Chains A and B, each alone.
Chain A
Amino acid sequence: MSGTFVGMPVFPPPAHPAFPKAAHEAVHNQTLRGNLRHATHTIRGKREKAVAEMSDWAELREAGKQIKDHTLRHLDRYLVQVEESVTAAGGIVHWAADADEANRIVARLVKETGEPEVVKVKSMATQEIGLNEALEAEGIHAYETDLAELIVQLGKDRPSHILVPAIHRNRGEIRDIFAREMSEWGRPAPEGLTDTPAELAEAARLHLREKFLRAKVGISGANFMVAETGTLVVVESEGNGRMCLTLPETLISVVGIEKIVPTWRDLEVFLQTLPRSSTAERMNPYTSMWTGTTDQDGPQTFHLVLLDNGRTDTLADEVGRQALRCIRCSACLNVCPVYERAGGHAYGSVYPGPIGAILSPQLRGTASEIDASLPYASSLCGACYEVCPVAIDIPEVLVHLRERVVEGGPVTREGNKVILKPAKGHAAERAAMRAARWAFASPRALRAGQRLASRTRRFHPRTLPGPGSAWSATRDLPPVPAEPFRDWWQRTQGGKGDKGAAK
């Protein structure tokens, strides 16, 4: 192996710019806009069709919501139950309060095997905690095996989508990355590789196969953990998940504590809603379910790392906790008009899009510039809520988090209640909002303002200087009318007696 292996960078980068600034470049990048538009529109139509096949979609959605809410309301009980049932089935359970602790546990477990490398199934939780970098620092190479993760890892890039981390890349760009980078880390790309998706998939198959066959340690997340049975579930398409979950001798799964469902039967809901919401398939090609260890079949050592890392803080917020229902399908990303134009990188988190805009500021807090700006990265159009298979009211949580940013107030951080101060940078807005509230408190003040505007209307430009240019750089202002409606109404009693036009 030559060169230094570069994993995925930890999020957020030290000082990620606020969302509007980060989005600025993406909006004007025509290649990126084209790639995102093509991909999100393709999947939108397909999802709609896959969902329309189910006459009971609304009922499945409601059941999914209730199962998750119930679990969250009794999470302590179910966590203990998961621990018991996984242990009884031959697994070893670890608890990690934060990212550092989870990384330390995993690094120690890998070191105990004596292996210098691991293969990984795509996992949001391990990306969230920056596991690859933590392992790298301990001299352990982590190979991402999901096709999109591979594209990102080889391209020394950042993931920009929950389901398809390389959604910002088109086939030509992927071909170039494979041709350029594969030889550095193992089997080179085939000679004369073209940009047909089938050939690109074949190149990934050949490149990764040698890694799968020699792997001794696999690392995964899980889509679901069943409390009553101790069963873990990984939903995937390519078979890289099956490779990582069955060929190695040791399997380490890092799973967020909110991934529990109480009973085996509960899977009947999510196995119907998740595939249709994410890849728009009736069923994804492969789903693996394992309960502890099985003699002579699959890993003989299984570790489960239960991860908090801000989840209990999120749970403490009675409006925001619904974000923990998320099953990471990415339907909300695919329908979001803001995501489609800003791209995933602008969100400065492994969780981009609408769900990221409510998850990141809760898991990480709103102290950083990017996290304080994420609740505003939405026009509140509601398309995300409409498609969410567990009915997370994302606009509701966004507005709630906006309130937290501008008003401050009590929140829970690392298990402790703290009082947040209102965020800086909103002082002028706050003053304007107060002034507007004062003006609107009485119709008289409103009317005075309207009359002033009408009298001076000849002098109103259609563009504005200063802060107003945020509007008028791209949009003309509407002309101010000769008189506000209320003056007309008073003058004419609703058109019954017109007493002459306004001057």
Chain B
Amino acid sequence: MSSRERILGRVRRALADVEQDDMPYEQAVSRDYLRVHGDRGVEQTVELLAENLADYRAIVHRCTTADLAATLAGMLAARGSRTVVVPPGLDPEWLSAAEAELVLDRAESTPYELDRVDSVVTACAVAVAETGTIVLDGSPDQGRRRITLVPDHHICVVRVPEQVVASVPQSLERLDPTRPLTWISGPSATSDIELDRVEGVHGPRTLEVVLVTA
């Protein structure tokens, strides 16, 4: 007998006392929880996102599409970034004013090469206001997961309000589970020393989020 058969057999015997029910799953669980907490307009939802991002030590900037290139160039310059990795599908306009050298992510580039890059700039798939979270889904304007992980400085551009949802339940509706997803809430952190939160471990220690309006 394979272990697969053994385990499935054990499960079935273990459940011998359980009454069969053919209730469809949608009815089997009562979901009386809220879809959204609180009653906010679009502006207030974006405001909450900014607040919660900042609460977990992300640095939040706001600008218009017209100012985006200048804003990003300024942020990179202020950081002193000489090299910045970009995902293949990032809007070329965004970094048109940047003085840093742009490094295009290639399939064959090694983690060591990425480790020598100063910054990374990406878009995002969705942002969650209630939790201060941005979610990346590996689309061409976000790139492979590693490029937002190894460099120490991540700039993420969120188009507001269209990419902002209020809550976790709303965000899942927008995401495609077949894509690799990374949920980011502030820079890397740890609570491992005396259960107190400290920012800055293995992931980017600086997370800057640009909320850009049309």
Contacts and interface: CB of A to CB of B under 8 A. Distances in A.
**Chains A and B touch each other in the complex, with CB atoms below 8 Å apart:** yes
B14 interface: yes
The size bracket of the interface on A is: 35 or more
Interface string A344-377: 0000000000000000000000000000000000
A422 B187 CA distance: 54
Given A283-B132, A296-B144, A95 B190 contact: no
A205 interface: yes
Interface in B97-119: 107, 110-112, 115
B83 interface: no
A49 B141 CA distance: 37
Interface string B169-180: 100100001111
Given A283-B131, A297-B138, A415 B203 contact: no
Interface stretch (B69-77, B155-163, B192-200): B192-200
Contacts of A56: 32-34, 37
Interface in A79-110: 79-80, 83, 89, 95-97, 101
Interface in A301-324: 306, 308, 312-313, 315-316, 318, 321
B190 A63 contact: no
Contacts of A59: 31-34
Given A70-B28, A238-B203, A229 B177 contact: yes
Interface in B1-50: 2-4, 6-15, 17-18, 21, 25, 28-34, 37
Contacts of B206: none
Interface string A4-43: 0000000000000000000000000000000100111011
Interface in B136-153: 138, 144-146, 149-150
Contact of A312 (B10, B52, B112): B10
Interface of A: 35, 38-40, 42-43, 53-56, 59-60, 62-63, 66-67, 70, 73, 75-76, 79-80, 83, 89, 95-97, 101, 145-148, 151, 163-164, 166-167, 170-171, 174, 197-198, 200-202, 204-205, 208-209, 212-213, 226, 229, 231, 237-240, 242-243, 245-247, 257, 262-265, 267-269, 271-272, 279, 281-291, 294, 296-298, 306, 308, 312-313, 315-316, 318, 321, 334, 412, 415
Interface of B: 2-4, 6-15, 17-18, 21, 25, 28-34, 37, 52, 56, 107, 110-112, 115, 128, 130-133, 138, 144-146, 149-150, 168-169, 172, 177-204
> Would you list the 7 A-B pairs with minimal beta carbon distance, nearest first?
A239-B203, A239-B202, A316-B14, A312-B10, A283-B131, A238-B201, A287-B183
30 contacts: A54-B37, A55-B37, A73-B15, A76-B8, A80-B8, A95-B6, A95-B7, A146-B192, A171-B194, A197-B193, A197-B196, A197-B198, A201-B200, A213-B112, A229-B178, A237-B190, A237-B191, A238-B188, A240-B202, A242-B145, A246-B145, A246-B180, A264-B177, A269-B31, A288-B183, A290-B180, A294-B138, A294-B180, A312-B10, A315-B10
